[in-house]
Amino acid sequence: MERVEIVIQGDEEKIYGFVTGFAAGRDMADQIIPCQDYNISTEHHPEGISRYLGIGGKYTNFIIPKSLRQPLEEALQGYGSDLGLEVEEVRDISGLSFSFSGKIYSEGIAEQVKTVLENRVEKIELSDYEPQEIKHKEAEGHELYAPEHNYEYRVSAKVSGPFTEVLAFYRQLEQFDQIHLKKMRCQIS
């Protein structure tokens, strides 16, 4: 499914209500993705700094199916203008990317992470991926709060690929507290 990122200026609550109500009326509410709710960066735009500083109004970003772009823009121009809502920008999305890192001291959890990484959809690309598995024989048998762990799994990578697949992969990695995920970034086409 082709997607676009739409940036709407106005009161955040009104925007959420308008966009989600519009999508629900078309039975597509599950296809609307508020960027802030999904940890998708909204700061990649050239105007990002002014948005961050609050200059020029409040902005809310959504990822929507491309088929909803025109009807939503028309609805916002018509009914949304009465609420002070305005389309600021629309960009075609070709995919998502993010980076992550982590240190895991449990072999069991490390195996779970490895399984997620190894069983990813083949469309998802990992770059700068060099996992390290370290076993310290001399630390075996130490108590829980020992100064050195007997096992350590270090992992980091940059991830990129199609929107839906990367979003699902991000959600899989989110379940591990030991993995530190950066915000996802839309790849603009």
Domain check: are 80 and 131 in the same one?
Answer: no
Q: Report how many domains make up the chain.
A: 2
pLDDT tens digits, one per residue of 98-121: 999 999 999 999 999 999 999 999
> Could you give the angle at the alpha carbon of 34 between the alpha carbons of 118 and 41, nearest 5°?
65
Cβ atoms of residues 155 and 10 within 8 Å = no
Poorest-confidence range of 118-127, 143-152, 167-176? Answer: 143-152
Residue finishing a domain among 94, 110, 135: 94
> Which of the listed residues 47, 76, 94 is the one where a domain comes to its end?
94
pLDDT at residue number 44: 46
- Domain range for 79: 3-94
pLDDT for the residue 135: 86
**Pairwise CA distance, residues 137 & 140, whole Å:** 6
- Estimate to the nearest angstrom the gap between the alpha carbon of 178 and the chain centroid: 18
Best CA proximity match to 157, nearest among 97, 115, 110? 97
Cβ atoms within 10 Å, residue 118: 7
Residue 34 in contact with residue 62, Cβ under 8 Å? Answer: yes
* Residues 88 and 151 placed together within one structural domain of the fold: no
